[in-house]
Amino acid sequence: MIDCSQYKQMIFDVDGVIFDSNALKADNIRSAAAEFVSRQEAEKFTEWFTGLNGIPREIKVHKWFVDESTAEGILESYTRRNEETLYEVAFTAGARQLLETASKSHELIALSGGEVGEVRTLFERKGIRSYFREVLGGPKTKQENLAPVRLHHPLLYVGDSRIDYECAAEIGADFVFMAAYTQFSGWQSYFAGETGVRIIQTLEEL
């Protein structure tokens, strides 16, 4: 177990940390891409897309697809698919209980690579919006979202991607990597040489 009592603020990634939504979103972006390109290219794109979890969808889609109409069509289809499926997604193990408890003694910030309106609607429907001082998301990057936020150290950041780790390092936050739902292939070797990173499977360990 990790003692969280020392921290003034806690930042949580959303997909794969608060909600078990990584696989669902991967299915949605794969299906959206397959409407416009071959199934083989859609699969390659999805693997690349999920490998960059934490970066806003607009940046990733437009970087891969140079044709503007294809990129915009995929983004529209992906957003529509998320609207149809995302709001029924489950919490990760222990997430709701931890957030309810932590919000009573800590200032909580949700920091997602997902579209901000989508994330806020999800939080409202799941009854956790009131636990957070800030709910931040795309199309801004995580770094752009945090730039104007007043941070209080010591600060804990819980994420499941390389982008989360890099963001935590930039703001001087202690970092906890949550592994159970991650799509970060090779995280074990990536973090093997990194000191100070703590690994948990689920939020039940906080």
Q: Dump pLDDT digits (tens) for 28-56.
A: 999 999 999 999 999 999 999 999 999 99
- The three-class DSSP label of residue 98 is helix
Cβ atoms of residues 53 and 163 within 8 Å = yes
Do residues 145 and 111 lie in contact, with contact meaning Cβ atoms separated by under 8 Å? yes
Q: Mean pLDDT for the chain?
A: 96
Q: With 80 as the cut, is the pLDDT of residue 1 above it?
A: no
Rounded to whole angstroms, how far apart are CA atoms 140 and 117? 12
C-beta of residue 4 within 8 angstroms of C-beta of residue 106: yes
Instruction: State what percent of residues in the chain have pLDDT above 90.
Output: 96
What DSSP assignment string belongs to 25-51?
Answer: HHHHHHHHHHTTS-HHHHHHHHHHHHH
pLDDT digits (tens, 9 = 90+) for 134-164: 999 999 999 999 999 999 999 999 999 999 9
Q: What pTM was estimated for this model as a whole?
A: 0.95
Mean pLDDT of 92-116: 96
Q: Which pair of structure tokens corresponds to residue 85?
A: 């499926």
What is the per-residue pLDDT for 193?
Answer: 82
pLDDT computed for residue 125 by the predictor: 97
